[in-house]
């Protein structure tokens, strides 16, 4: 598993927490920061998934004679 997938998942969770706290406190700025972090985390997770796919494909191509 690529490190970007782990970091992306963590950023997504952090964003969800920020969004929830922002909603609870009525803090629009914090809520928007949370939404932004969620999107960044999802994108980073996708990038990590692509890296994993490329790595797996490369590994398989080396195994096949």
Please give the tally of structural domains in the chain: 1
Range of the structural domain that residue 32 is part of: 3-63
Q: Please give the pLDDT value at position 17.
A: 98
Overall average pLDDT of the 40-53 stretch: 95
Q: Please give the pLDDT value at position 44.
A: 96
Q: Angle between the 28-63 and 3-25 helix axes, to the nearest 10 degrees?
A: 160
Nearest-angstrom CA–CA distance, 3 and 37: 17
Tell whether pTM > 0.85.
Answer: no
Q: How confident is the model at residue 15 (pLDDT cuts 50, 70, 90)?
A: very high
**3-state helix, strand and coil shares in percent for the chain, rounded to the nearest 5:** 90, 0, 10
Question: What's the mean pLDDT when you consider all of the chain?
Answer: 94
Overall average pLDDT of the 41-51 stretch: 95
């Amino acid at each position: 598993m690529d490190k970007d997938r782990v970091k992306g998942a963590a950023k997504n969770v952090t964003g969800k927490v920020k969004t929830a706290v922002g909603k609870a406190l009525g803090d629009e700025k914090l809520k928007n920061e949370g939404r932004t972090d969620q999107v960044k985390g999802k994108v980073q997770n996708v990038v990590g998934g692509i890296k994993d796919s490329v790595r797996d494909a490369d590994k398989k191509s080396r195994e096949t004679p």
